[in-house]
Amino acid sequence: MVVGIKVKVTVEPNPDFYNVFILCGEYQCSDGTYSTWTEQIDRYYTDCDLFVGFFKQRAKWLMATLEQKQASDVHPAFYGTTESC
């Protein structure tokens, strides 16, 4: 693991479609488990803005410690901002 890296990104084959792949971003949730955000790379795929945007919107939350995440009562997208859900 590299210090400061909070999302493990991989490209996996889609088991349902031949020659179609899925971008997978694995990150730690506030309960200590891991979750994955995905985006399919198929003929309609244009760029990774939606995929990367999910993590950019939650960057402060992703960089927080597990204890800080557990103490937070806001949605990860609003962590560290003055906005709330």
Report pTM. 0.80
* Residue 81: per-residue pLDDT: 82
Residue at 38 is within a domain: yes
Q: What is the mean pLDDT of each run of 10 residues along the chain (85 residues)?
A: 73 93 94 94 85 92 93 92 63
Runs of H (alpha helix) within the chain: 49-57, 59-63, 66-71
Residue at 84 is within a domain: no
* Residue 4: per-residue pLDDT: 61
* Residue 31: per-residue pLDDT: 92
Separation of alpha carbons 40 and 23, rounded Å: 6
* Residue 2: per-residue pLDDT: 44
**Residue range of the domain that includes 19:** 8-78
- Count of the separate structural domains present in the chain: 1
Please count the CA atoms within 13 angstroms of the CA of 20 that sit on its side-chain side.
12
* Residue 30: per-residue pLDDT: 92
